């Protein structure tokens, strides 16, 4: 029997997706109006215990709006992580603002200590504004990404943000369902701790609408602004008056129908992912040179992506490993190229990027879909045990 292909991360659509989408089509509510949109928003807000939610076209547009409603302008700067998907940072440039790149810590998320150190040592706090000593510009916000479903150190990050009057945009596109189990933020979900949080429903995320996103916040005024901007900033429905430049960033009812069905299965997906994570961890124990990266101990992670750390004791490096596994029909991927090294960001300010460079060279993402079976995990681990150069 020939081995089936094991993808890295694919959708799992075995719930009521077809039923709800069919209903949306049969009732002919297929555009940005319709009850699935409001339902999906309400159920999402309820699930993450936020005051409200506003659906958007994708995570990227949600992040764009988030920066805008946080008051970031082309005069400002925004602190961002260097180790993440580029969509976390590009919206800073859409606005014309400048990013400052921060290193990661061992959670792969933004290093909270370096963040604080940078604000203390490289900036001045004048009249409630954090001013960058190098550029003399106002740093107004930071974008924190909860990488792979882990949680950034929000306790420390929020302390720094509070001290220096920074708005906190949580890119929780990979971390829907992750929450603190301990500490001052116990029971708070990723995305609901900062000023505003953004989720993504792209095809590879833990739940998907094909393409889509959601903004959440406990500040209802901000959400109102977001919705206004997402709907062309229309201030009068009948006469079409517009009080600013808006966007067409709303989700459609068809997408929301799918999203609602997906949300119903989210906890099941998380359970499967957590089980498979545990299995990978147990089965790879004892393979020289390999370890599965843990999630933070004080959280319930959604276990979205698994990071396999490959050190120098392993017979082959990650590039060889990825192509070897590919030849065995196992799809793997290195983590992202650092954003501060990408062409559009040449010359952007960076602060002590060290750990991110190391993780980039050593971490591989291995198959983690919510429909991955025990046999699949066993097969992947068998391949890992017998690497061929
Ligand atoms: C997926 C992702 C995004 C973008 O979401 P889209 O819905 O694809 O626009 C942004 N940031 C991070 C970290 C992501 O993983």
Determine whether the shortest distance from the Cβ of 218 to ligand 1 is under 6 A: no
Q: Domain check: are 60 and 187 in the same one?
A: yes
Structure confidence by residue, pLDDT tens digits, 303-316: 999 999 999 999 99
2 inside domain: no
Say how far apart CA 346 and CA 142 lie, in whole Å: 20
Determine whether the shortest distance from the Cβ of 174 to ligand 1 is under 6 A: yes
Q: Domain check: are 297 and 349 in the same one?
A: yes
Q: Domain check: are 184 and 47 in the same one?
A: yes
7 inside domain: no
**Which residues, at least 6 apart from 248, have a Cβ–Cβ distance to it below 8 Å?**
57, 230, 231, 232
Provide the residue range defining the domain that includes 205: 17-263
pLDDT digits (tens), the chain, 389 positions: 688 999 999 999 999 999 999 999 999 999 999 999 999 999 999 999 999 999 999 999 999 999 999 999 999 999 999 999 999 999 999 999 999 999 999 999 999 999 999 999 999 999 999 999 999 999 999 999 999 999 999 999 999 999 999 999 999 999 999 999 999 999 999 999 999 999 999 999 999 999 999 999 999 999 999 999 999 999 888 888 899 999 999 999 999 999 999 999 999 999 999 999 999 999 999 999 999 999 999 999 999 999 999 999 999 999 999 999 999 999 999 999 999 999 999 999 999 999 999 999 999 999 999 999 999 999 999 999 999 86
1 inside domain: no
Rg of the Cα trace of the chain? 21
Q: Domain check: are 212 and 245 in the same one?
A: yes
Provide the CATH number for the domain around residue 245: 3.40.640.10
Q: Which of 261, 227, 341 is nearest to 22 (CA)?
A: 261
Atom index in ligand 1 nearest the CA of residue 200 equals: 7
Q: Domain check: are 41 and 66 in the same one?
A: yes
For residues 197 and 50, the answer to whether their CB atoms sit within 8 Å is: yes
Atom index in ligand 1 nearest the CA of residue 60 equals: 9
29 inside domain: yes
88 C-alpha to ligand 1 centroid (Å): 7
- Written as one string, the DSSP assignment of 275-329 is HHHHHHHHHHTT-TTEEEPPPPTTEE----SEEEEE-TTSSS-HHHHHHHHHHTT
105 inside domain: yes
- Written as one string, the DSSP assignment of 343-371 is GGGTT-EEE---HHHHHHHHEEEE---TT
Determine whether the shortest distance from the Cβ of 269 to ligand 1 is under 6 A: no
Atom index in ligand 1 nearest the CA of residue 201 equals: 7
């Amino acid at each position: 029997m020939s081995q089936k292909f094991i993808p890295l991360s694919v959708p799992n659509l075995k719930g009521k997706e077809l039923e709800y989408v069919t209903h949306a089509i049969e009732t002919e509510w297929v555009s940005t109006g319709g009850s699935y949109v409001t339902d999906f928003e309400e159920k999402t807000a309820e699930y993450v215990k936020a005051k409200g939610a506003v659906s958007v076209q994708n995570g990227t547009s949600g992040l764009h709006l988030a920066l805008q409603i946080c008051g970031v302008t082309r005069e400002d700067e925004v602190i961002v992580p260097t180790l993440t998907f580029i969509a976390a940072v590009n919206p800073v440039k859409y606005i014309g603002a400048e990013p400052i790149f921060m290193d990661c810590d061992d959670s792969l998320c933004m290093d909270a200590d370096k963040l604080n150190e940078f604000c203390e040592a490289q900036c001045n706090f004048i009249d409630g504004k954090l001013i960058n000593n190098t550029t003399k510009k106002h740093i107004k916000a930071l974008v924190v990404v909860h990488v792979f479903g882990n949680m950034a150190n929000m306790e420390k990050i929020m302390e720094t943000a509070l001290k220096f009057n920074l708005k906190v945009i949580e890119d929780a596109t990979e971390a829907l369902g992750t929450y603190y189990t301990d500490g001052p933020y116990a029971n708070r979900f990723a995305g609901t701790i900062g000023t505003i949080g953004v989720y993504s429903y792209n095809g590879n995320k833990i739940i998907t609408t094909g393409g889509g996103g959601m903004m959440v916040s406990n500040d209802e005024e901000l959400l109102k602004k977001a919705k206004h901007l997402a709907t062309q900033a229309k201030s009068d429905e009948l006469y079409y008056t517009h009080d600013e430049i808006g966007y067409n960033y709303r989700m459609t009812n068809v997408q929301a129908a799918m999203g609602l069905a997906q949300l119903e299965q989210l906890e099941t997906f998380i359970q499967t992912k957590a089980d498979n994570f545990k299995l990978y961890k147990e089965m790879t124990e004892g393979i020289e040179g390999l370890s599965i990266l843990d999630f933070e101990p004080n959280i319930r992670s959604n276990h979205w992506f698994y990071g396999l750390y490959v050190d120098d004791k392993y017979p082959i490096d990650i590039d060889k490993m990825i192509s070897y596994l590919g030849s065995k029909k196992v799809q793997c991927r290195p983590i992202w190229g650092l954003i501060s090294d990408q062409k559009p960001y040449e010359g952007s300010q960076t602060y002590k990027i060290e750990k991110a460079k190391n993780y980039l060279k050593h971490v591989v993402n291995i198959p983690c879909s919510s429909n991955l079976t025990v046999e699949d995990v066993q097969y992947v681990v068998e391949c890992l045990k017998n690497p061929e150069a």
